[in-house]
């Protein structure tokens, strides 16, 4: 069912951050940084995959994501909802159900046998496709999914995520230069503000996280020395 009412964007951001903290999807550790998929260190890590195990929170956030996209892009802006392999698949299915639209998913690379397809499900030339993912950091991984969608003859000018890092200044430009608008629910800044409001972490940890968010590349370079 399509949600018909929703809070303003800043309240959605605060509530999303609160829910991510509540299920312990947020991890802060400035003393022993995490290693990201890029191989770079970070005092922050978020696991949006945990959301699928919490039905009430999952449902609320999918309502938020659906209405955010409809508010920003329009109620009749899409014909197909595509999830990126693998984390985006369940969220795409939930958004597609709410919007009463077909759902597909995009593989990271061709499966190597059979049709050797990257798109699973029915996607047609001319369809307007929304790409749904769990999160985005610098936006780079989205471009491959978008290109795979466009190779079918469909269009893809929007991507929606639950969580956007919000600390790398070129992200939205990278996507924008590729003709893609980004829609998101919250960022690290929203999570940091809510973590402070809840005293979810000690002051030293929060200060270390804030230093990273203000200058992530500088913070990472300092860890190498």
- Binding residue ranges: 107-108, 111, 133-141
User: Rounded CA gap, 187 and 21, in Å?
Assistant: 13
Residue 144 in contact with residue 116, Cβ under 8 Å? no
* Long-range contacts at 4-9 (CB < 8 A, ≥ 24 apart): 6/63, 6/64, 6/67, 6/68, 6/71, 9/68
Residues with Cβ within 8 Å of 222's Cβ and at least 6 positions away in sequence, in order, are none
The CA angle 163-168-171, to the nearest 5 degrees, is 75
Helix (H) or strand (E) holding 162: strand 155-164
Q: 155-164 and 181-187 as β-strands: parallel, antiparallel, unpaired?
A: parallel
Task: Indicate the annotated binding residues for orotate.
Answer: 137
Residue 122 contacts residue 104 (beta carbons within 8 Å): yes
Structure tokens belonging to residue 165: 């890092």
């Amino acid at each position: 069912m399509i949600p018909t009412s929703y809070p303003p964007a800043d309240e959605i951001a605060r509530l999303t951050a609160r829910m991510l903290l509540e299920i312990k999807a947020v991890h802060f550790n400035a003393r022993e940084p995490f290693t990201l998929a890029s191989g770079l260190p970070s005092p922050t890590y978020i696991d949006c995959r945990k959301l699928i195990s919490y039905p009430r929170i999952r449902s609320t956030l999918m309502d938020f994501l659906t209405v955010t996209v409809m508010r920003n892009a329009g109620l009749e802006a899409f014909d197909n909802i595509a999830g990126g392999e693998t984390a985006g698949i369940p969220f795409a299915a939930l958004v597609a159900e709410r919007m009463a639209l077909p759902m597909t998913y995009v593989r990271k690379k061709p499966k190597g046998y059979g049709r050797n397809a990257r798109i699973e499900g029915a996607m047609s030339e001319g369809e307007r496709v929304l790409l749904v993912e769990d999160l985005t950091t610098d936006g780079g991984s989205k471009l491959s999914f978008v290109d795979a969608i466009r190779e079918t003859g469909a269009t893809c000018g929007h991507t929606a995520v639950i969580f956007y890092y919000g600390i790398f200044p070129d992200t939205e430009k990278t996507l924008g230069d590729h003709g893609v608008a980004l829609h998101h629910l919250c960022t690290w800044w929203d999570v940091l503000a809510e973590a402070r409001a809840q005293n979810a972490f000690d002051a030293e940890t929060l200060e270390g996280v804030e230093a990273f968010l203000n200058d992530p590349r500088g913070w990472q370079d300092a860890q190498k020395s």
